[in-house]
Structure 1
Amino acid sequence: MDFRVNHAPVFSTLEFSLAQHEYVVAQPNSMLTMSAGISISAHVGRLDSDDESESANDAAVGDAAATPAKPRPRQSLFGSWFGGVKSMLGGESFFTAEFRAKSDEQTVVLAPESYGDIVVLDLQPDSGYFLTRGSYLANVGSTHVRIKYGGLKGLMSKKGLFLMHATGRGNVFCQTFGAIEHRKLEADETLYVDNRFMVAFSDTVTYKLVKASESLKDSLMSGEGLINRYTGPGDVYFQTRGKPTGGILTTLIDAAF
């Protein structure tokens, strides 16, 4: 499987070249074009492989060899629908789309809904990433994208009660609003980022909601209020523009979930 990002950094698209049985899991309604030998299937909630032997994408992305995919284990109706509800609470779609190649030399092109760049996260077995609300676009390889309960920590940091956690071996692709900035934090190194601009960060990075200034008056009157403090080690990806809010109702819903 090969992939490349085209038309960056504003009108980015993500193009995949697939061999037979290889597939891409993606956010619904993100397909721009596809060749005739691609089949589409829809699934409820997150779709990934719990066993590396079950996926045709087991090899690292870029390897030429492809292994026929084994049938997916059936998930209970309750389990799949509960997964869909958790995806919605994590700021993602209730459904997930799978684009699978029925023969060699097939292509799929995905287009994010926002004007911006595409972040490629390289997952290794010993590391993972947390994705912020609405940033997920697609994943390939033996990757596991789970919706995890974040509790009050996630709620108070304006990330919601549920967080998206990506682990495994392969690639996860994030859509951004504007250009993307990458900072690699050393141990105990800190960076303050407004949550509207955060895209993804390593699961080794800790975060906490803090005042933008020591003075509450300065924090509020500067328009910054409360921001998130990220402490390394690990990688932090943030975008140069914040998505416009949908009004007071949308803001309240986002704050709750």
Structure 2
Amino acid sequence: MEFCVKHAPVCSTLEFSLSQDEYVVAQPNSMLTMTAGIVISAHAGRLESPAALSSPAGERAIASSSPSPRGRSSWLGGFKSMLGGESFFTAEFRAKSDEQTVVLAPESYGDIVALDLQPDTGYFLTRGSYLANVGSTNVRVKYGGLKGMMSKKGLFLMHATGHGTVFCHSYGAIVHHRLSANETLLVDNRFMVAFSDTVQYRLVKASDSLKDSLMSGEGLINHYSGPGDIYYQTRGKPSGGFLTTLIDVAF
């Protein structure tokens, strides 16, 4: 299996070249094109993709082993996915024969980033940023608590772990910043896409003065502390109104 990102950074698409029995797990309604040898199946919640992954520079190659059992899907998993800001169902695109292609396109204008997962390092994904995953990956919903709700990430976050790749999409271009140990960076809540689970974050005022924080329009922002990687987007997605914002913050 190979994949590459095309048409970046505004109208990005994600293209996979699949051999027989290789498959991609993705967000529903994300398929742009596919060849006739691709079979689509839908599952409630999240699935694990068993292919082993390597990550050379440029176009990325995935060395697939023989198929192994899929991760379990369930209605409870679907509801958990919704709490994390994603769809109830997960789509699986599987190749019936060699030399098959599937192209994914997110709904928003922006970039796509591939996050390499290792057994000792995972990533938290913010609401709506998940696009797809391959390899021996596991994408679950994790309770973020009051801190997550107050930071506008919601009470629940998507947590990607395993050995493989998870793909995120953004609104605007994606900026990658590597935080060294004890290095900090403050990022406006609306712009965060994903961050390593080794990174600590807390909610702080944008300024020492509450008046300045509110009047500047910044209010509360997130304080990230390394070590680890953070990915943020260059544009904030337009608000859908007060009710939509309230629902997003609550969940």
- TM-score, normalisation: structure 1: 0.93
Q: Quote the Cα distance in structure 2 between the aligned partners of 1:8 and 1:85.
A: 32
Q: Does 1:170 align with 2:164?
A: yes
Which of 115, 126, 129 is the aligned partner of 2:123?
Answer: 129
Partner residue, 2:183? 189
Distance 1:211 1:17, change over 3 A: same
Query: What residue is the counterpart of 1:179 in the other structure?
Result: 173
Question: How far did residue 213 of structure 1 move?
Answer: 0.1
8 Å CA contact 2:106–2:131 kept in 1: the answer is yes
| Counterpart check, 1:38 vs 2:32 | no
Shift in Å at residue 161 of structure 1? 1.0
* Deviation of 1:65 (Å): 5.2
User: Do the aligned residues in 2 keep the contact of 1:150 with 1:163 (CA within 8 Å)?
Assistant: yes
Shift of 1:255: 1.2
* CA offset digits 1:168-216 (Å, max 9, x no partner): 1111000101111110001111111111100000000011010000000
Q: Secondary structure at the match of 1:109?
A: strand
Amino acid paired to 2:20: Q
CA distance in 2, matches of 1:7, 1:93: 25
Q: CA deviation at 1:74?
A: 5.4
Match of 2:17 in 1: 17
- If the length of structure 2 is used for normalisation, what is the TM-score? 0.95
Call closer, same or farther: CA 1:64–1:120 in 2, change over 3 Å: closer
Whole-Å Cα distance in 2 between the matches of residues 71 and 119 of structure 1? 27
In 2, distance between residues paired with 1:163 and 1:92?
10
What's the secondary structure of 1:112's corresponding residue?
coil
1:69 aligned partner? 67
Counterpart for residue 217 of structure 2: 223
Tell me, which stretches of 5 or more residues in structure 2 are unaligned? none
**Residue 203 of structure 2: aligned partner:** 209
The equivalent position to 1:253 in structure 2, one of 239, 247, 250, is 247
State the 1:48 CA deviation.
Answer: 1.2
Closer, same or farther in 2 for the Cα pair 1:85/1:218, shift >3 Å? same
The answer (yes or no) to whether the contact 1:21–1:66 under 8 Å persists in 2 is no
CA distance in 1, matches of 2:197, 2:62: 30
Q: CA deviation at 1:30?
A: 0.2
Which deviates more, 109-118 or 146-155? 146-155
Alignment root-mean-square deviation, CA: 1.4
Give the letter for the 1:6 counterpart: K
Report percent identity of matched pairs. Answer: 78
Secondary structure of the structure 1 residue equivalent to 2:115:
strand
Correspondence for 1:2: 2
- How many equivalent residue pairs? 247
